[in-house]
Structure 1
């Protein structure tokens, strides 16, 4: 067997060992209700150099698996249209900035007070500990459907600012450096200027290059080309940021934001998400493999004590900031627990501090172990947070996954005013229902009336499957969501072909978009109530009853005719305008 064949055999064996260990440990930990991240970490420890020594090249695996973080930020960007990102700017630059600054200062002071590190070393160790793990927190928010909740949005805003803060933190480390200055080294301020120019360039490229390219691909109708174009945007943005010395994840995030308004974003997300999940699993496997057990064994009290102190300080500060920014008590506490760990960028900053001769390699290993232990604590803290959120006075009361629901004939997604009316009518016919809503406050209100509503994003196929959609007779989407478009509807109809879909649509535009996609019933949310109020107005001004009935019937027919013409014209809102009352018919030539 030659060297190439030997290398391939080692690669295949290594893949088998890593995936097998991950499969066993994640299944075991999930069986006991513990997060998958801890399962990956323990699997990495077991097969790594400090365990059974089955895998040795953890650094290479870590570098490769960081692509998972890049893909994760891209998928998050796909869910954040520029308008929504602007809405979050106060949380990003207010809450996010406050968290990084206050946690960094507090941890720096704690290291100075309890250790013999120099001032520069304490800064280089304390500031990176303020950052949390994007790779751990975002998948937890996504899998639970909480990314779009108020708490999830604030947590994401903090994480996004932490990614941005990598630039000034690297600049601080470089400014404190004791190492000889490298010839031609780029200053931190110049890097920041290049970063602003690169972000502007990416935005312009997205608007004037990527969007037209996707339209062209749409005419060709090759699905694979959408994936290729998306990945070109991801790796192009990431490579640009890496080239100028910034976080490649930031470039991938911007690429996602550029495509957030694209009609193909759901397809891109569905195709890329499996790769993201696998590579993030490899990332945490590699972190576990790199954990120096000798350092922990020789400094057990310090490592665990420092990890507990790190978690306690961050929970306290983030909780107080959450309250200051208007969050209820339990969501603020849950956010503090969610972001209490150290992050993967801590490893990057510790390595830079080593190169800058600010800390010894032993200190880097020691605090790397602290970060890893704090990551391992997060799943247990989140279990504690979920169990504490069962009080009736909490806005997050009893947020139970639809998997716990019994099988029902109809699943109703959305329990606002519209959904409540639909569910009441069906309950009057004694139809078994499963009710789902994504707003914790809405669930809390229903719970006070003794109505069980399950928590989650009911437009996600995986959540609907857990709720028993494959056995239900119908799914009724009653939420007020103008963005519930063809991509999501197609995914749901393809996943549950025998289940009937009915949709509350925002307006005629959304109705036209969903026409012909297998939806058996659609109703514009204000259509009937507006007609009813018009009838009451005509009654109030003494219009004859028979005339009111004739106007009602004629209006419905005119609206139906106009809608048919708009559908035939591929959504042209001016098609059939002559059917409206008060519009003079065009003159015959």
Structure 2
């Protein structure tokens, strides 16, 4: 779901052609990757503790309380992109560490909405605003948000349905861009920021029935839009202010990162997280995040944050993100763990007519009859330990993430006759199936289903029922047949019962 909301950042970058040049940095720098999920507990506690620590530090250096609050809130945000990349590279989405970190990250992403509203409320207006004025501004903002939600709920799918009938990808891309532009302008008219509109547009697109088509059409422009985003961040910097305050920036980075790590560790320990996991989360989420760029840009545009101070805190965020690649190494040094082994993969021999994604307990059995018959099979897995184990038995398993289209292409998906998705995680299987259907439609697709519900979800993605096999279905039926024989049923009668169940199950799925 988080990937769905990142479309807002990719699309809004195209606004540089629709607004004036002086607005370029203000518009694009406000747009980042947005996620949508909810968790209170540890996520909220961490947010409050980190914000209090960093706001207190900002007050101690002499900042006015409103400025200190925005600085503290912005620096309390972590980088979703960097942390998620580390989790994915380690294959730890389903680990305790991965699930805890993802929950906190998604809650932080959602927190940008009230933070941007807070900027609007705290911004100087040139005259003393009364309580009635503030309530009126808040009511207008909420009404605009509700109007956009209603548009997304009831109007977006019909519009995309009409556009989809034209079978023109360019129109779908233009429509997605139009949604973001429309939402951004509505929020600006209501006195809120472009970023708020981009966030809501990302939610609207991600929840649309045509979200996968939109994502596929926008994907080729992802690198360009994200590049423009960070170029705009650089354009917003006052390099003279950065040069004049380089010592402050160099000293502030380790201090703010340490305060964030301390807050994350304390909150996780209070909620019962084991020491090793809490310590790892503290190191992994100590850096500041890309949402700081959005918040500081909005505060600077609202005249709440001085331009010089905005450049300084943006430089602090940037430097902490640049150093975050060493957080895993620092953690392992502290706990005295050896460096995690990395595998440099070579796909030059990936020429199998069958590509099996996932070499776990199911993938190994799928490959067995193929290898016995001498079929050329390419095996792909993301677990380094499993690959090392396979080497002991002279099995060549390629290392790579099957949820990346470029990895699948390198592993031979473009020339494979059959692609078998045998991964353990149901959501991972669904994502890989979508990529294969979109990018490699020439291959016959077979998928492992975790259970009946997962089989229905795969079928809803367009996978034929005869290409879906539940991992326990046939073995359970065979065991049931043995139980009937043990009760005295003749072989033919037991087989008839099993066959009737199989036929009935297929009919229900159809």
Structure 1 and Structure 2 fold alike (TM over 0.5):
yes
- Shorter-chain TM-score category? 0.7 to 0.9
1:489 is aligned to 436
Alignment partner of 1:206 out of 152, 158, 168: 152
Q: Conserved in 2, the CA contact under 8 Å of 1:342 and 1:374?
A: no
Summarize deviations over 1:305-328 as a string: whole Å, max 9, x none.
012212222233234444555472
For 2:325 and 2:135, the matched residues in 1 are separated by 38
Q: Please say if 1:318 is aligned against 2:264.
A: yes
Alignment partner of 2:407 out of 454, 460, 463: 463
Q: Conserved in 2, the CA contact under 8 Å of 1:61 and 1:283?
A: no
Q: Please say if 1:271 is aligned against 2:238.
A: no
SS at match of 1:412: strand
1:304 is aligned to 250
Q: Conserved in 2, the CA contact under 8 Å of 1:264 and 1:487?
A: no
1:265-414 aligned within 5 A:
265-324=211-270, 326=273, 328-329=277-278, 331-339=280-288, 343-348=292-297, 350-351=299-300, 355-356=303-304, 361-381=307-327, 407=350, 409=352, 411-414=355-358
Compute the TM-score of the two structures, normalised by the length of structure 1: 0.64
Structure 2, gaps ≥5 residues long: 1-19
For 1:232 and 1:400, the matched residues in 2 are separated by 43
- Indicate the RMSD between aligned Cα atoms, in angstroms: 4.6
What's the offset of the Cα at 1:269?
A: 0.6
Compute the TM-score of the two structures, normalised by the length of structure 2: 0.73
What's the offset of the Cα at 1:281?
A: 0.9
**1:99–1:338 Cα change, 3 Å:** same
Summarize deviations over 1:281-306 as a string: whole Å, max 9, x none.
12222333444443343333222101
What's the offset of the Cα at 1:488?
A: 3.2
Structure 1, gaps ≥5 residues long: 1-56, 438-442, 567-572, 574-589
SS at match of 1:475: strand
For 1:61 and 1:419, the matched residues in 2 are separated by 50
Q: Please say if 1:63 is aligned against 2:26.
A: yes
**1:66–1:466 Cα change, 3 Å:** farther
For 2:418 and 2:461, the matched residues in 1 are separated by 20
Q: Please say if 1:109 is aligned against 2:109.
A: no
Rg larger in 1 or in 2?
1
Alignment partner of 2:203 out of 257, 280, 291: 257
1:519-534 aligned within 5 A:
521-534=467-480
1:419 is aligned to 363
2:379 is aligned to 434
For 2:377 and 2:335, the matched residues in 1 are separated by 27
2:106 is aligned to 157
SS at match of 2:379: strand
What's the offset of the Cα at 1:504?
A: 1.8
2:122 is aligned to 173
For 1:216 and 1:109, the matched residues in 2 are separated by 53
SS at match of 1:542: coil
2:458 is aligned to 510
For 1:63 and 1:166, the matched residues in 2 are separated by 17
**1:217–1:137 Cα change, 3 Å:** same
For 2:193 and 2:345, the matched residues in 1 are separated by 37
For 1:118 and 1:477, the matched residues in 2 are separated by 56
2:47 is aligned to 100
Q: How many pairs align?
A: 472
Which moves more between the two structures, 303-312 or 428-437?
428-437
